[in-house]
Structure 1
């Protein structure tokens, strides 16, 4: 099932935040929240991870936008677009050190916002393609916090991570089995395993990666997902059981 890109707005001027949220919704994105404080943003992300964060640099409270992003980056790899009304050299250099995907100076136009987000999504796609040595075309999957974009019928489609059952290796290809469709990817299982979020997925066999939340049964030599028995190596069975206790 294809879903909209999820964006978190961290902005303490609520009129500006509400306007940004409206613009994002009109552009077809999903706003996961409007958060005025860095501390609250950290809590929000733990509950509902966005694909992109719009972060005001000059937040009130103990954490400004830059410090908030540093703490986020300790746990998550989420693209950040900074919002700022203070574009002096000192703030710019501090923010630049956190490797943001874009800067937007306030006040900004709707087109500035639209272009920054589209460039961020495009950069994610390009970086994932460059990291995948098995192909140099646009067939490579790219992964956000709750979905994976894959090539399907000549277009990139968004597949929700929670809908993926398991992934099977087919030589230099991978086949994703979701609840209602299958997708063949031009990437090795090894390379895909590096890209997938480890909190959701585990490689339990040289030929299989499973979605931990989809496991129905764990036996001695296999797991069962959607009535299919998937083999598990002895060395990874202990790791699997540990992981299942934490989700």
Structure 2
């Protein structure tokens, strides 16, 4: 199973927010936070960056949902799905400027919520949209919280982060060893290490980054992942053992 999509709920009616959270958990999504005011949305994102934001248009407080969305878009490229009980043209025309991934009208059914999020996820995974939103060159990997896209034979190939076992340096290249295949990409291990989500990956040697969730054995000078012995630097062993205690 892959790493679940994280969703931030921005809704000032706590009963509605709690119900949305419950429904999303049942659908297999993870809630990164629940916020009731537009003024607090950036702090929540900094604490735990979501993949998608569910945002009520008519928030109480200094910022309505549309103004809060504008703040988000100044700093982040996070898909937004608007929740609304007001369908008048003024709100709709203002909201269109944000280019939301979907609108959900209140009251909504569980299926409405599910379909809107699935459409947003599919759009996120679109190769052209990912390249456009991340501003990457054709050869650079696109790294999201739960997957990466790499250029392979003129196509962008998706690799689930959960499927990556370890990464090995090869001069200015990196070899990704995954559950089903090996990939070679043009990026240094140092640059790759800076981009990867550190909650899953750790550099344990000058030439190796490992996925902590796939370590089968830790020995004196190496770790074992899928029957492969990977060298472990003495100076990094304590850090590794500490990290393993937190997962």
Please classify the TM superposition score into its range, dividing by the shorter chain length.
0.5 to 0.7
1:91 alignment counterpart: 91
Q: Secondary structure at the match of 1:63?
A: coil
2:42 alignment counterpart: 42
For 1:211, which of 161, 169, 193 is the aligned residue? 193
Q: Kindly indicate whether the alpha-carbon contact (under 8 Å) linking 1:5 and 1:29 is maintained by their aligned counterparts in 2.
A: yes
Cα distance in 1 for partners of 2:88, 2:61 equals 21
Q: Kindly indicate whether the alpha-carbon contact (under 8 Å) linking 1:70 and 1:98 is maintained by their aligned counterparts in 2.
A: yes
Q: Kindly indicate whether the alpha-carbon contact (under 8 Å) linking 1:2 and 1:157 is maintained by their aligned counterparts in 2.
A: no
1:240 alignment counterpart: none
User: Are residues 1:158 and 2:160 paired?
Assistant: yes
1:147 alignment counterpart: 146
- Report the TM-score, using the length of structure 1 for normalisation: 0.64
Q: Kindly indicate whether the alpha-carbon contact (under 8 Å) linking 1:2 and 1:159 is maintained by their aligned counterparts in 2.
A: yes
- Residue 130 to residue 70, structure 1, CA distance change in 2 (3 Å): closer
Cα distance in 1 for partners of 2:72, 2:165 equals 26
Q: 1:15 Cα shift? A: 1.0
Cα distance in 1 for partners of 2:35, 2:138 equals 40
CA RMSD, Structure 1 to Structure 2 (Å): 3.7
Q: Secondary structure at the match of 1:211?
A: helix
Q: Kindly indicate whether the alpha-carbon contact (under 8 Å) linking 2:169 and 2:208 is maintained by their aligned counterparts in 1.
A: no
Output aligned runs, 1:113-132, within 5 Å: 113-128=113-128, 131=131
The structure 1 segments of at least 4 consecutive aligned residues displaced by more than 3 Å after TM superposition are 127-135, 141-144, 163-171, 181-186, 213-217, 223-229
Q: 1:167 Cα shift? A: 7.0
Deviations 1:20-69 (A, max 9, x none): 11111111111112111112221110010011110001111111111111
Q: 1:166 Cα shift? A: 4.9
- Report the TM-score, using the length of structure 2 for normalisation: 0.64
Q: 1:143 Cα shift? A: 4.6
Cα distance in 2 for partners of 1:83, 1:169 equals 48
Cα distance in 2 for partners of 1:64, 1:88 equals 15
User: Are residues 1:112 and 2:106 paired?
Assistant: no
Q: 1:160 Cα shift? A: 5.7
2:82 alignment counterpart: 82
Cα distance in 2 for partners of 1:3, 1:130 equals 18
Q: Kindly indicate whether the alpha-carbon contact (under 8 Å) linking 2:51 and 2:78 is maintained by their aligned counterparts in 1.
A: yes
Mark the runs of 5 or more structure 1 residues left unpaired by the alignment. 136-140, 190-202, 218-222, 230-247
1:58 alignment counterpart: 58
